[in-house]
């Protein structure tokens, strides 16, 4: 299946890099794993299908592929009459593959229907969803944010931090990690690659002088992604009109120094080598502008450069055999680098980027092992496994900052909650006026009135499930007890709520019910598949093959 996926990508003109290839491997692995687990569940539940059920499915729910067969179309639209007539008059074994497809997929469909059948949507759920989407609420709010509690007294003490560390070891658990040192050879273009690009540019200039059309050459040679439209056609190298400050300096200098009709180049920038056609010049709103086209030749690492870099890595490995890793590094005057500790699942290596091979090597070898040269999209590297950090609790020193932030936030939240509750008591006892509450304490912020429906965000408050839940059951004019949001406590006052448009509700409720039911069915199905995977004993042997 991997090869099939790669072939499909090539047909579409897509060359998958290392990251894309790994994504496809994971996608197909997960797909195969889920298919296997679902098939086991079908057997466990003894789900079977009869010939009658298969025929019913073919008649009433023809597979999508059948709906596009020309023989079943009338004016480009699936014709049910033609389809059913063909179904009633089969010729030979032409329907056998389709029957087998339905026979394989119908048990899966029946299983999924069993899962979906457990989902129900109450009328109140539909009504609330309608309100969320269509009814506008106007509210005021008193907000007590944790950011207002920034005094030193909210900083945790050393004793508090140490106690938290020792009482919560599960929060600081770490899996086994491994540490690698490495030598790298970056895959960058050489001066020879730059020279080759410039020679190609000179060839293009010669053809232009001989009378070749610039637009045709741009479409043939330019490697500028912007030269392709979303429809797949070419732009003839056209850059349109632009003024100073819109292009990189070397390109701008060459372009604005030329006259209309001039061909300029080769011009080297960070993007590559350019051949530029200045088609026109003008002054627009007192700004000098040019109309230009260009041909971009990227300076890529060529096969000769790649082979030289590769040979350097191979020669280093010979030196490792002769002198050992450390001395080989020293003799070649290479820089020995250290990777951050890797987990077995580590796929991102700062500053290299996406690179899963080091973790695979580290967890498959013994201490001191030196790898063969390993290639990524950016470099060649040789690795050495230096040390193993055992599974256990992270050292206190490495998590101090995390603990300090957690405890400080907890103290700030506790203080914000206490103030909000005190404020709520005063409002309940009518000893404080809602609109004047912020005047009494700089830590209190008055917001509103602001309006929004509950499906969107309220200005300065945001969108929080706690706010939605409180407002759904509130009466107009009611001041609600404090609700917790992200790093704040909020006291809400419902100023006004639009009435439900009962006519619109009657029109929309059935569609809304179906949408809500479909959403919850899909959520239930996703949760069921996730639970199935979590309970399964899955053995992943891909590391032995990829």
Q: Summarize pLDDT for 353-383 with one digit per residue, the tens.
A: 888 899 999 999 999 999 999 988 889 999 9
What local confidence, expressed as pLDDT, does residue 356 receive?
87
- Cα–Cα separations (whole angstroms), residue 505 to 21, 134, 135, 237, 257: 49, 9, 11, 54, 67
Q: Is 176-188+303-390 in the same CATH topology as 2-118?
A: no
Based on the number of CB atoms within 10 Å of its own CB, is 230 exposed (0-12), middle (13-18) or buried (19 or more)? Answer: exposed
Question: Does residue 174 sit in helix, strand or coil?
Answer: strand
Over residues 303-328, the pLDDT tens digits come to 999 999 999 999 999 999 999 999 99
- Which residues of the chain register pLDDT less than 50? none
Which residue in 495, 508, 402, 511 sits closest to 136, CA to CA?
495
> Topology of domain 191-297, per CATH?
Chitinase A; domain 3 (3.10.50)
pLDDT at residue 345 in the model: 87
Distance (Å, rounded) from C-alpha 37 to C-alpha 26? 16
pLDDT recorded at residue 15: 64
pLDDT at residue number 3: 66
Task: Check the CA dihedral 348-353-354-359 and report its sign.
Answer: negative
Task: For 520, list phi and psi in degrees, rounded to 5.
Answer: -70, -35
Given this model, what pLDDT does residue 65 score?
A: 76
Whether the predicted model's global pTM rises above the 0.95 cut: no
| Structure token pair of residue 244 | 């100073």
pLDDT value of position 6: 61
From 3.40.50.150, 3.30.70.120, 3.90.170.10, 3.10.50.40, which CATH number describes the 136-151+409-497 domain? 3.10.50.40
Q: What is the pLDDT of residue 92?
A: 55
Whether residue 517 contacts residue 119, with contact meaning beta carbons closer than 8 Å, is answered with yes
Nearest of 18, 100, 131 to residue 504 by alpha carbon: 131
DSSP secondary structure, 359-405, as one string: HHHHTTS-TT-B---EE-SSEEEEEEEEEEE-SEEPPHHHHHHHHHH
Q: Which residue has the tokens 């060839």?
A: 203
Q: Which three-class secondary structure string do you get for 127-154?
A: HHHHHHHHCEEEEEEEEEEHHHCCCHHH
CATH class of 2-118: mainly alpha
Q: What's the CATH fold of domain 176-188+303-390?
A: Chitinase A; domain 3 (3.10.50)
pLDDT at 56: 87
Domain extent listing, the chain: 2-118, 120-135+499-546, 136-151+409-497, 176-188+303-390, 191-297
Q: Collapse the DSSP code of 14 into the 3-class scheme (helix H, G, I; strand E, B; otherwise coil) and give the result.
A: coil
Q: Which residues contact 265 (CB under 8 A, 6 or more apart)?
A: 201, 205, 254, 273, 274, 275, 276
* C-alpha closest to that of 200 among 285, 105, 265: 265
Q: How far apart are CA 423 and CA 438, in angstroms?
A: 10
Inter-residue contact 22 to 543 (CB < 8 Å): no
């Amino acid at each position: 299946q991997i090869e099939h996926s790669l072939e499909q990508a090539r047909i579409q003109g897509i060359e998958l890099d290392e990251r894309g290839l790994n994504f496809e491997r994971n996608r197909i692995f997960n797909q195969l794993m889920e298919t296997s687990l679902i098939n086991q569940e079908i057997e466990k539940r003894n789900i079977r299908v009869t010939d009658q059920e298969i025929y019913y499915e073919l008649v009433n729910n023809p597979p999508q592929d059948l709906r596009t067969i020309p023989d079943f179309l009338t004016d480009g639209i699936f014709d049910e009459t033609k389809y059913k007539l063909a179904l009633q008059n089969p010729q030979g074994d032409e329907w056998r593959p389709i029957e087998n497809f339905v026979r394989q997929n119908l048990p899966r469909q029946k299983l999924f229907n069993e899962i979906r059948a457990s989902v129900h949507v109450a009328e109140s759920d539909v009504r609330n969803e309608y309100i969320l989407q269509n009814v506008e609420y106007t509210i005021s709010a008193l907000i007590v944010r944790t950011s207002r509690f920034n005094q030193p007294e909210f900083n945790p003490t050393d004793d508090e931090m140490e106690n938290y560390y020792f009482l919560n070891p599960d929060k600081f658990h770490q899996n086994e990690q491994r540490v690698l040192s490495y030598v790298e050879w970056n895959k960058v273009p050489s001066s020879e690659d730059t020279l080759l690009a410039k020679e190609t540019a000179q060839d293009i200039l010669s053809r232009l002088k001989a009378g070749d059309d610039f637009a045709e050459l741009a479409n043939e040679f330019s490697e500028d992604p912007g030269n392709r439209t979303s429809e797949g056609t070419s732009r003839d190298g056209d850059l349109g009109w632009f003024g100073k400050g819109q292009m990189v300096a070397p390109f701008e200098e060459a372009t604005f120094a030329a006259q209309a009709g001039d061909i300029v180049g080769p011009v080297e920038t960070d993007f590559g080598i350019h051949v530029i056609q200045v088609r026109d010049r003008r002054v627009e709103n007192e700004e000098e502008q040019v109309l230009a086209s260009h041909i971009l030749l990227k300076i890529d690492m060529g096969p000769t450069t790649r082979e030289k870099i590769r040979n350097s890595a191979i020669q280093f490995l010979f030196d490792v055999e002769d002198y050992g890793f450390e001395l080989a590094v020293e003799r070649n005057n290479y820089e020995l680098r250290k990777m951050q500790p890797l987990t077995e699942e580590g796929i991102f290596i700062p500053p290299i980027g996406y690179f899963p091979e080091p973790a695979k090597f580290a967890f498959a070898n013994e201490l001191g092992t030196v790898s063969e040269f390993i290639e990524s999209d950016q470099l060649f590297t040789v690795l050495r496994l230096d040390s193993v950090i055992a599974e256990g609790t992270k050292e206190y020193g490495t998590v101090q900052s995390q603990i300090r932030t957690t405890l400080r936030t907890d103290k700030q939240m506790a203080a914000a909650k206490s103030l909000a509750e005190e404020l709520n008591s005063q409002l309940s006892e009518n000893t404080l006026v809602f609109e004047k509450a912020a005047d009494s304490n700089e830590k209190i912020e008055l917001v509103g009135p602001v309006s929004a429906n509950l499906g969107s965000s309220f200005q300065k408050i945001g969108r929080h499930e706690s706010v939605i839940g409180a407002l759904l059951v509130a009466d107009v004019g009611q001041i609600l007890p404090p609700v917790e949001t992200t790093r704040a406590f909020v006291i809400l006052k419902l100023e006004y709520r639009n009435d439900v448009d009962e006519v619109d509700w009657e029109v929309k409720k059935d569609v809304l019910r179906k949408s809500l039911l479909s959403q919850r069915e899909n959520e239930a199905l996703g949760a069921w598949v996730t639970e199935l995977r979590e309970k399964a004993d899955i053995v992943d042997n891909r590391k032995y093959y990829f």
